[in-house]
A and B are shown apart, each in its own frame.
Chain A
C-alpha cells in the first residue's frame, strides 16, 4: 500500500514517524526485506558535505542616508568584490570571488587565502564585515561613496542561493603527467600519485533518488545548518547521464539549485574553502529527506557504496582538453578503502567530501523529523528526468569575425 507525504507528515506531527539514515536503511532492507522495510520506515535521510563552487548569497543591506544606488556601481565585502548589478541595495556574493589584488596564480601555485566562500562563512558566523562601495549618483540616489561595518543581523534579507549543488556522483581525479597539478579536485601528485574523489556515496542525496522521483522543486531540506529548499534543477543538470542497471549514474549526473535563509544557518556547515593553486570555494552541508512512498523508492535508498561506480579521469590532459576518456571505473567501497588500482598501479585515495560530517547531517535531520520540527514537502514540480532528453551540452564556440 503506497504512502503519501501527507500521511507521513501526520505521523511526524503525532511523533510516530519512523526515520532511518541512508546507511541504516540498507541494513533494514537486508534484514527485514524490501516489503517490510517499506511498510515500517517512513523517511530516509540523505546528506553530503563537500565543496560546491556554484554557491553564493544575496543580501539587502538597507538604505543609507542620503540614499545610494549600489546597482551599476562597485561594491566590496572585506575587499572581495560583490555583484552589484541589481537594485539600489541588493548585492550578490559568489563563493569563488577573489579580492582585486589577490595575486591568483602569478606566483604558482597561488594561495587564495580569502575569497567569497570565506566572506559567507564570516557573515554567518556573526562577524562584522567591511562594506565599501562607490556609485555614479542619481537625483534620487545622490550618494557616491559608502564605507561601513555590516553584520548579518542588520541585513534585511540574507539568502543563500546556490545555482548548482549536490552533484549526483562525480569523477575520480588522477594525474598522469610528470608534474604536480593543482585542481578543484585538490592537489594531484604526478604519475598516478593519488586519486581524489568527491562524494558521500551511499549517503549522497541524488544517489538515493536516482530518477528524481521524490526530490523536486519545493523539497524542504537541511541547508547549511538551517532549513532550505530545492528551487530548480542545478546548472549542468544531466539526467541523461549513463547509468548502471540499478539506475545509479556512473558519471556526474543531476544537480540541484538550492536556497535558504542565511540568518538561520551555522558557520560550521558553510565553510570557506581554499583549493591550493585553484581558488576559493564554499563547502556546503546539505541533508535531504526521502519519503518512502513505495517499494521502488525504498529500493533506491538501500543502495550501497559498492553499487555506485565512478569514472577515473586524468586531470592533467584529458579533463582540461575536453577529451572524454575514462581510465576505468571504481566503486565507492574501493575508493573508501584508501587504495585503488589504476593501470596496474596501487593509488592512494582521498575524499574531498567529508563522510563523517555527512553522517552527522543525516542523523541531525533524522532527529529534527523525529522531534516534529521538520515536515516533508511535496514537490510543486519535478526535476527533468532522462525521458525529457535534457542534457549538459558543451559550449558551441562561434568566433566573432
Chain B
C-alpha cells in the first residue's frame, strides 16, 4: 500500500480529458483532491493524495507520464525560508495538518513537509513572509 501526495501538471491539450477518472477505474487507486487549479494559460494543476497497491501505483504513474502529465512529489513545493523565519510561532495554530510545530525545548519552529497538505494558509499568515510556495 502506497499513499503519496503529488503535484500533477496537465498541459493545455489534456485539461478536458478525464485522467484522474482512469486512475480510479483502470488502476484501482483512491484519490483525495487537496488543490485543483486551471492556470490563466489553461494548464491544469492538481495536488492529490493518491493511494493504492504498490504495483497499481507504479502503473498509474507510468500511465500519467505516458499521456504527458508531469508528476512531482508535493513536499518540494512549500518551503520554509529558514533565514527569514524569526521563530515567532504564529503559523503553528493556523496549520490544519500539524506540519508546523514549536519545538518545546528551543521554542523554535519546525516544518515537517511530509505532513504539509499545501493549503497555503501559512503563506499569507507568516508576518515575515518566510513560507514560500514553489509550484
Contacts and interface: CB of A to CB of B under 8 A. Distances in A.
Interface in A185-213: 186-187, 189, 193-196
Interface stretch (B1-9, B26-34, B59-67, B120-128): B120-128
Contact of B108 (A352, A353, A356): A356
B71 to A, nearest CB: 31
B89 interface: yes
B17 interface: no
B88 A271 contact: no
Nearest to B103: A356
A359 B86 CA distance: 12
B128 A349 contact: no
A55 to B, nearest CB: 14
B87 A356 contact: yes
A141 to B, nearest CB: 40
Interface in A156-209: 186-187, 189, 193-196
Contact of A356 (B93, B94, B107, B127): B107
Nearest to A113: B129
Query: What does DSSP make chain A's interface, helix, strand, loop or mixed?
Result: strand
- Indicate the size class of the contact surface on chain B: 10 to 19
Contacts of B93: 189, 193-196, 347-350
A275 interface: yes
B86 A350 contact: no
A283 B128 contact: yes
Contacts of B127: 51, 186, 273-275, 283, 352
Contact of A49 (B86, B92, B102): B86
Contact of B129 (A49, A274, A352): A274
B106 interface: yes
B107 A350 contact: no
Nearest to B124: A276
Contact of A187 (B88, B89, B94, B108): B94
Interface of A: 49-51, 109, 111, 186-187, 189, 193-196, 271-276, 283, 336, 338, 347-357, 359
7 contacts: A186-B90, A187-B124, A194-B94, A283-B128, A348-B92, A351-B90, A354-B86
